[in-house]
Amino acid sequence: MTGFSIIIPVKEINDYLRESIPHLLALDYQDYEVLILPNEEPSPLESAFVDERVKIIPTGAVSPAVKRDMGAEQAKFEYLAFMDDDAYPSLEWLKVAEKTFTEKNPAALGGPGMVPPDASKKEIVSGIFYETLVGGGGLAYRYRPVPEGFYVKDYPSVNLIIRKNVFLEIGGFDNAFW
């Protein structure tokens, strides 16, 4: 089914996730779901903020890579969008991704992990540092937008979208790594 399954591994429902969920539910796109993978089932009160697009899938105490693989198995849409609990995308995130998948037909897309405009001064300064060659080194592209896409061998899962069939074909994440 065409659409996006947003997969977020967490130990537990936390303040970062509580901040992220409203941004995810406001995305300018229709066909998507949000899969949250905590260690344990949250309390009924914790589940109250969830709407029908959000599914909570308890996993037990396993690594983030295993949680992501479990989310991929449960995902109902064609594209798997991996995020962290302390991140949230721009409103057009999925529209831009869909356009790129349609026009350029890549197996996967990655975008920068940028500091939001309402972040603290410390977070903003830290983000600026990582955007530089000194702070980010050869990985500075992970923290700032680039005008044209390019091939990379390694990309973090904070803003990574991959076709589900490709992800399953390669066997998911390497669970030997965190």
State the DSSP string of 162-173. Answer: EEHHHHHHTTSS
pTM: 0.82
- Does position 64 have pLDDT exceeding 80, yes or no? yes
Please tell me whether residue 104 adopts helix, strand or coil conformation. Answer: helix
Span 142-163, pLDDT tens digits: 555 666 655 555 555 678 899 9
Domain boundaries, the chain: 4-113+156-169, 115-148
Class of domain 4-113+156-169: alpha beta
